[in-house]
Chains A and B, each alone.
Chain A
Amino acid sequence: MTNTIGITALIPPELIYACGHRPLDVNNVVPESSLSPRSKLCAWTALWRDLILTGSLDIDSLVVVAGGDCHNALVDGQKVSLSGLPTHYFFYPFDTNTQYLHSQLKSLEGFLGGIKDHKMFKYIYRLKKKGLALEKQRVNDNARASDIFSALICFSDMQSDPYEFENLIDNIPDTDVEYSSRVAMIGVPPIYPDFHKVAEEFGLHIVYDELPYEFIRLGGNDLQGLAKSYKDYSFAGPIKSRIKIINHELQKRRVDGVIHYTQFACHHTLEDEIFRDYLDYPFLTVQGDLPGPTPEQLKLRLEAFSEMLEIMP
């Protein structure tokens, strides 16, 4: 029987598909939500929690990324679990230990009822290769960042239907983009669904989205291969390694500036000072809270950043 498995952060989607189920990244429905969460710190976790508890999200079980994501997810995941929904907790290693991650993947495989279709590993691998090609397309100024972001952010679950998803990404238009500056987005993704379009209006071409880029990491054909690949999931590891990865990507993509998106009451906000010290680029920090259209104050920041990059020495 095919079940819908809610996931709260990056979980290898190839494993869920290989076990005969479909993943649903519960974050991907948050930006379109108009719910007012009852008690909240970070709106991302509070909203997926309430969407599940109110029955607005149709899932059969939940996999909570408890290590390598946030403690809000751990608590909100337990609230969901107390409602009776089968819940599994997944922990990434902080020290990139392959054996530890292998044991976590083995335990997740058990929760999902075991691998039934090995072919899915290869199929998802092929899809992710297409994701990497899309990424290249925008870096080479041949695609709008808003189109690429919308596709990449869905690589965490392939919209619960990889075949339909493949059709969708095959139809992303080739477009020559014009812009005034190339920028990178680091941190968690913005909670505002129109954010990338707004940035485009101000002449900012986003050539790197840190977290969605992590989603298109190529996994292996078995648990060992997945463990080797996903152990480097940067959000779960030490910030030193993350800075190294980000700096490498910024240089490769020839960015003019960096935008750090932070989420109100998210612990990642504390990383802002570190990034400002270690990323030697014009740097803009923005913060969001509840979903909706990008607020005017935030637009002012984007506009000012764009002006600064364009006219300042």
Chain B
Amino acid sequence: MNEPGRRIEVASDQDVVRVRQQVRTLAVAVKLSLVDQTKIVTAASELARNTLVYGGGGWVEVAPADNGRRKGIRIVFSDHGPGIADLDLAFTDGYTTGGGLGLGLSGARRLVDEFDIVTAVGEGTTITVTKWCR
């Protein structure tokens, strides 16, 4: 029972900024607390950058979520990049293949309530995250 979201193509730095702004606007609209707004926007920034840098670009969909009990925000990040061969390694704090800090994936997972990842080598990666209002 989730409404359709808004899809944002992610192909440049500027698009990552657009994702942040879109997530911020919706996080305010569904009335997440200030700290939770900050967490979901930060997580979205990390994951959108991954879509761009590691996935070679893709799209992000931002939508309100409602499980009947609580409202929240759900974001999908999808790319057709190389995929992730070793998920355990990818979720290790400090591990990176791209010269970053290695905190994007592991850190983003800590900042959201639900985190789902589907990845296949050579096909791409789709990550879905949800943050619920308390």
Q: Are both chains from one complex? A: no
Question: Which residues of B are interface residues toward A (Cβ below 8 A)?
Answer: none
